[in-house]
Structure 1
Amino acid sequence: MASSGHSRNFYMPPYRVHPKHRDILNEIQTTTEPSTAQPVKTQYHQAYPRNYNFIMDNKEVCKQNPFLVLMVPVAPNNVAARDAIRQTWSKESLVQGEVVITLFMLGLSKGGDVGKLQQENAQYHDLIQSDFMDSYINLTIKTMVIMDWLATRCPTAAYAMKVDSDMFLNIDNLVIMLQKPGIPTTNYLTGMLMTNRPVVRSKNSKWYVSEELYPDPQYPTYTLGMGYVFSNDLPEKFVEVSKSIKPFNIEDAYIGMCMKKLGFTPTSPPDPSQFQAYNAKYNRCQFSKVITFILGSSQELVNYWTDLKKPGPPC
């Protein structure tokens, strides 16, 4: 959940929605399943990703049959974060012998420069944009749109990771972890596990969720949103099951709810110490062993990566 927060000390509606979608929100659509006599009611809601459309796409990148797809939610105007990632952990497309691709997921921004984004995409072919409003409160929509893209555009990939734009990602260690014998290829979700986490009811918190949106006092086990890894069969299942799960604005806990409803639980990584949130200071030896760290700036990412990759043993 590391993103620029819009913390307010008053109640906000859970979603800001693109005006053309307002008329379909909360509409009950009745669909009749051919195999049963009973009509099945499905509630389509704001976070259901097929309410939205991709207005910039790069679906051909998956013709390479990637082993791993890194999906990075990022604000449209945050070019610095994208450039730092392109210079560091997304630079190599072949990692430990496996094809890895990195894509950036954007929504719409007020006053966003469409021409600049198109130019950037023409240069790098790594932007995907959908027509929801890009804001902290809409992270659940953004995450579900990522899942929809993976399910519809890249179903042959083995694994995917949702990874925030302010992350240090040791991509070699991640691929080595996924290559380990015994790592599941289906229904697998791993990262930094959050267990028995209470729902924040304080209205002045960035993570506030009302009882109306989420009545239970605590979340099911979920993986911290900074970076979680999953087998690529799950996105289609998440999109499908999300139809029946009321959306709320804590995207990683929402994915935890999807897992619970599907009857699955997130798995602890082989070495949980590799998924770190914060570190006190840079240490080359330590950074050579982890998979994730949350950083303070894009410049830090470039500096740490450059140091980590210099010749000589890190420890």
Structure 2
Amino acid sequence: MGSQEAGSGEEICQRRQFAKDPYHHKSNPFHSWFVGLLALCLLVFVMFFAFSDNTLAWSEKLSLYSQNYVPFNQRPQFKAPPYRVHPKHKLITNAFQKNTKFPSVQPGGLQYHLAYPRNYQFIIDNTEICKDSNPFLVLMVPVKPKDIAARNAIRQTWGKDKVVQSKVVLTLFMLGLEEGADLENLKNENQQHQDLIQSNFIDTYLNLTIKTMVIMDWLATHCPTATYAMKVDSDMFLNIDNLIIMLQKPGIPKVNYLTGMLMWDRPVVRSKESKWYVPEELYPDPKYPTYTLGMGYVFSNDLPAKFVEVSKSIKPFNIEDAYIGMCTKKLGLSPTPPPNPSQFKAYNSRYDRCEFSQIITYILGSSEQLKNYWSDFKKPGPHC
């Protein structure tokens, strides 16, 4: 740590000397004024990077800027200041690269919490939507920018109705940055539907924890008056009527409430061949705390702000639902089983109109399947 600081100071001195030496000879007043202004700008730039976080080398800060601020040509040229966290959580920045890899923990690595949502800024937003509608429930759907088919399928099915069981429901889509996605098309789509939120993180599978924490931050800062929220994947069949009925049952808490399909004593996957692989340096324990499966979990809307705050002290890893489980545990809380656990189902073997009338969630295979199932499900007549 000391050697980094000394190196940074020495480099500053060298750059100051470099700024002065070439201009010892006499020059005209305008030239001297211009050189002095240039040297002052350079000094301010170096001083900013050197002293904004005295544990980072100047060269590391410049590398962070060049790698992470402009990954794609269409990426906006702004970003919130990185958040400094506990020294135990030192992460290098390769999670931002196009071919996202697991961020490794190295001695002397950069002290930036990549999952902390205020490292990022919103590019597309609907800042007043909650103030205008005062929702009872907000459905937050993570989806990639190019996956317009999934968004349209949801808009035609369970995300279509704004009032369900006499309660106001909002359905919003959270997007990151995806190479090749057309920002103007997304802006036009949002202008038409007013349901997109896009942030400037890289939208990859391994960055789902970042995406989820950005969702939590948006709920905490843009929609604090909602009673409940749900993070629900874009490949889900959601029986929204049953969900609203469940949330209005007597005894359902309005604070510190998290429910869904509960996962107990789940082992951490150490096989590098698995999409759920987590290296020990990111998560050393052999098992996760109890968490709710990421396909769709429901929570009282006081929790997002608490999750964002407690995430400052939790090392990020790439399994987003287990990460929320870690945040819940750190808060001294635990997920609550739903009143009827059988309503939160994962995969289905076949469509059954009667069964789909009784559940809340099911994972589907495609957007076309969702539209076909929904069309049949909404036909007049009894379901069973």
- Under a length normalisation based on structure 1, what TM-score does the superposition of the two structures give? 0.88
Report Cα offsets for 1:115-143 as digits up to 9, x if no partner. 11011001000000000000000000000
Cα separation, partners in 2 of 1:87 and 1:244, compared to 1, 3 Å: same
The structure richer in strand per residue is 1
**Which amino acid in 2 is paired with 1:280?**
S
Cα separation, partners in 2 of 1:28 and 1:197, compared to 1, 3 Å: closer
Partner residue, 1:289: 358
Cα separation, partners in 2 of 1:144 and 1:284, compared to 1, 3 Å: same
**How many residues get paired?**
287
Aligned to 1:182, what secondary structure does the other structure show?
coil
What is the root-mean-square deviation in Å for CA atoms of aligned residues? 1.8
Whole-Å Cα distance in 1 between the matches of residues 230 and 284 of structure 2?
Answer: 29
**Structure 1 residue 111, shift from structure 2 partner:** 1.7
Whole-Å Cα distance in 2 between the matches of residues 214 and 96 of structure 1?
Answer: 42
**Which amino acid in 2 is paired with 1:132?**
F
Q: Judge conservation of contact 1:282–1:304 (CA < 8 Å) in 2.
A: yes
The structure richer in helix per residue is 2
Q: 2:120 aligns with which of 37, 52, 55?
A: 52
* Identical-residue share of aligned pairs (%): 73
Partner residue, 1:248: 317
Report Cα offsets for 1:219-268 as digits up to 9, x if no partner. 00000000000000000000000000000000000000000000000000
Q: Judge conservation of contact 1:18–1:132 (CA < 8 Å) in 2.
A: no
Partner residue, 1:123: 192
Relative contact order (C-alpha < 8 Å, sep 6+): which is higher? 1
Partner residue, 1:226: 295
**Which amino acid in 1 is paired with 2:296?**
G
Partner residue, 1:36: none
User: After the TM superposition, which residues 39-118 of structure 1 pair with which residues of structure 2 at under 5 Å, given as runs?
Assistant: 44-63=112-131, 64-118=133-187
Whole-Å Cα distance in 2 between the matches of residues 199 and 217 of structure 1?
Answer: 5
Determine whether 1:207 maps to 2:271: no
**Which amino acid in 2 is paired with 1:80?**
A
Aligned to 2:297, what secondary structure does the other structure show?
strand
Q: Judge conservation of contact 2:136–2:168 (CA < 8 Å) in 1.
A: yes
Q: Judge conservation of contact 1:44–1:243 (CA < 8 Å) in 2.
A: no
Report Cα offsets for 1:6-46 as digits up to 9, x if no partner. xxxxxxxxxxx97129997684589xxxxxxxxxxxx6500
Aligned to 2:231, what secondary structure does the other structure show?
strand
Report Cα offsets for 1:86-132 as digits up to 9, x if no partner. 00001110000000000000000112111110110010000000000
Partner residue, 1:191: 260
- For structure 2, list consecutive stretches of 5 or more residues without a partner in the other structure: 1-65, 72-78, 88-110
- Under a length normalisation based on structure 2, what TM-score does the superposition of the two structures give? 0.73
Aligned to 1:312, what secondary structure does the other structure show?
coil
Cα separation, partners in 2 of 1:290 and 1:250, compared to 1, 3 Å: same
Whole-Å Cα distance in 2 between the matches of residues 74 and 260 of structure 1?
Answer: 27
Rg larger in 1 or in 2?
A: 2
